[in-house]
Amino acid sequence: MALPREYTEEQCPIARALEVVGERWTLLIVRDAFYGVSRFSDFRDHLGIPRAVLSERLTLLASHGILSREHAASGRDEYTLTAKGQRLWPAVWALTVWGNEFYGNPQPCRHYSHAGCGSRVSGPEARCETCGTVVPPGDLVLNPGPGALASPKTDPISLALLEPHRLLTPITRVLAGAAG
């Protein structure tokens, strides 16, 4: 028996938020949207998520105004984070920092740097280690770490993320640039 999504007896804002982003895969979809993933097939292939589950999660996120769904010139639907969705960045960052601290790989796959000065970004506030700026997601560059090459994943998104990539920049442009 599947658990219900709603916490009907709870009036807590955390419970309300978890009704939208608390199911398995949802925050990984949001994370990938920050990385610049926008196509259904790229989310599916990068995450290894079942098609039906991905469809349900994308529909839920779009219905709550976290993702915008648009029909692209390619004929495919593409998803991008809305302003509301981008407001999830502090939660995504906090989970990244917490996960690295308590469950991190000694050979991390990724680290972040400040696009403005190129220095590493760390800590609970996503602060640049050189200039001290609290760096918003659009000014963060995702860099491959030492564990990236050891990853067995060979989908186009994983391969694109072997190069530095600015968050919120569509990866499809990176892939097109690499192919042409």
Cα-Cα-Cα-Cα dihedral sign, residues 92, 159, 117, 120: positive
Indicate the pLDDT class of residue 150, thresholds 50, 70 and 90. Answer: confident
Residues 93-117: pLDDT tens digits? 999 999 999 998 888 889 999 999 9
Which one of 85, 105, 137 terminates a domain? Answer: 85
What is the pLDDT at residue 108?
Answer: 86
Which one of 58, 85, 112 terminates a domain? Answer: 85
The whole domain housing 80 covers 13-85
Instruction: Provide the whole-model pTM.
Output: 0.91
Same domain, 141 and 172: yes
Same domain, 172 and 112: yes
**In whole angstroms, what is the distance from residue 33 CA to residue 31 CA?**
5
Burial per residue of 65-84, b for 16 or more beta-carbon CB atoms within 10 angstroms, e otherwise: ebbbeeeeeeeeebbbbbee
Residues 3-60: pLDDT tens digits? 777 888 888 999 999 999 999 999 999 999 999 999 999 999 999 999 999 999 999 9
Cα-Cα-Cα-Cα dihedral sign, residues 139, 145, 148, 149: positive
